[in-house]
Amino acid sequence: MARFVYADNAATTPVSEKVLQAMLPYFSQQYGNPSSLYSVGREAKKAVEQARETVARCLNAQPNEIFFTSGGSEADNWAIKGAAYEQAKRGKKHIITSKFEHHAVLHTVESLAKQGFSITYLDVHSDGLVRPEELEQAIREDTALVTIMYANNEIGTIQPVEELGAICKRRRVLFHTDAVQAVGNVPIDVEAQHIDLLSLTAHKLHGPKGAGALYVRRGVKLQNLVEGGAQERGRRAGTENTAGIVGLGAAMAMACDSIEQRAARLSKMRDRLIEGASKIDRAHLNGDPIHRLPGNVNMCFEGIEGESLLLMLDLKGICGSSGSACTSGSLDPSHVLLAIGLPHEIAHGSLRLSLSDQNSDEDVDYILEILPPIVERLRQMSPLWEKIVSENRPPYRLK
Ligand SMILES: *Cc1c(COP(=O)(O)O)cnc(C)c1O
């Protein structure tokens, strides 16, 4: 029987019913401008400040260290450009990042490179992890900022953030992490993990699109990215997206309060999916199986095209992804899979399935019923597969 299985939660998630209910009044009843002094304005302001407290609590931060933005991309841009321009005043124009960051980070550092900043890209090893000792070696006198993502959006690998943060603290370099995929999925503590700047967004944790935040450690100077009114204590202009901010707060509260139970349930489903799909001939898991987001499955199937696989899965009601949504439309394989050392040919056959707490064991059963015959059928039509078989090639091994 046909089902609909949404397994692309790393791209975005549906707004949960509870979050939606929390947001609704702020469109048409509590519509006041949070900067206005009369009561509908004050009510809106109160809601914004309550959301700020919730976000702060989830990260072990202070409310006055949380600044609302239009989402993860803006938070990344602000953290990186804001810190870089500030540090450049003191002659520090070197930035360290990694090769498998989200484009919101990679394209931002590339734009800074054109303005005379120098960029070091740390290698990502075949397990999908950066090595703290390589960060240590890359830091220079003129290093302004280190920006390394908390968890990768494609292969789900969770970086050794606390160790990276400790190195940056000891070497007195600012440490930013794009935690968009991690927030709500793994416990985060900006104090214990020595994080100076952290980006997050609501729509990856059952909140609305277009609402996010940047955590800025007290005392860290950032140049403004968005200039205008005095909102967000003069550091991020623009009338607050009240409903969006309320939605972010509600989503964070739900995600942070039940993090362990959800992670346990999700990782069980994830591991069953990985185990089942690994039975397919010449199937490979991408990224470390342990240091991994609880809902992330990313595999390559030799001899097929990820895009065709997605289309066939879609016909059966299954939504997944191949590479990231931002790169689809281009024929290049994902920069993340290339960064961990996969050859183009293998990287082209990738599939990411990302689960959330709205998925069920029946969803996993259904995927495991549908996926193997589809891979089989695509291989029968694939000249590449024919070549692999006729040459009697050994299965690919990641070095
Ligand atoms: C989705 C995502 C972003 C972008 O967030 P938006 O709110 O969509 O701008 C940035 N970084 C990572 C790791 C992401 O997964």
For the segment 282-302, what is each residue's pLDDT rounded down to a tens digit? 999 999 999 999 999 999 999
- E-assigned strand segments in 65-104: 66-69, 94-98
Q: Quick one: which atom of ligand 1 is closest to the CA of 210?
A: 7
Lowest-pLDDT range, 289-298, 306-315, 316-325?
316-325
pLDDT above 50 (res 325): no
Contact 255, 145 (CB under 8 A): no
Q: Residue 169, Cα to own-chain centre: how many angstroms?
A: 24
What is the distance in angstroms between the CA of the first residue and the CA of the last residue of the chain?
41
Strand order from edge to edge, sheet including 197-201: 66-69, 212-216, 197-201, 174-178, 143-147, 94-98, 118-122
- Identify which of 315, 325, 312, 332 has the alpha carbon closest to the alpha carbon of residue 352: 325
Where do we find the tokens 């124009």?
Answer: 93
C-alpha–C-alpha distance, residues 48 and 16, integer Å? 19
Residue nearest to atom 8 of ligand 1 (CA): 72
For a pLDDT cut of 70, what percent of the chain falls above it? 97
For a pLDDT cut of 90, what percent of the chain falls above it? 95
Q: Is 326 a residue of the active site?
A: yes
Per-residue pLDDT band at 398 (split at 50, 70, 90): confident
C-alpha–C-alpha distance, residues 179 and 199, integer Å? 6
Contact 190, 60 (CB under 8 A): yes
Ligand 1 centroid to Cα of residue 371, in Å, is 28
Ligand 1 centroid to Cα of residue 42, in Å, is 31
Where do we find the tokens 């989830």?
Answer: 58
The whole-number pLDDT of residue 377 equals: 97
Per-residue pLDDT band at 326 (split at 50, 70, 90): very low
Residue nearest to atom 3 of ligand 1 (CA): 72
Residues in contact with 142: Cβ distance below 8 Å, sequence separation at least 6, in sequence order:
91, 92, 93, 94
Active-site entry in 58, 168, 300, 326: 326
Per-residue pLDDT band at 329 (split at 50, 70, 90): low
Ligand 1 centroid to Cα of residue 185, in Å, is 15
Residues in contact with 74: Cβ distance below 8 Å, sequence separation at least 6, in sequence order:
212, 214, 225, 226
168-186, pLDDT tens digit by residue? Answer: 999 999 999 999 999 999 9
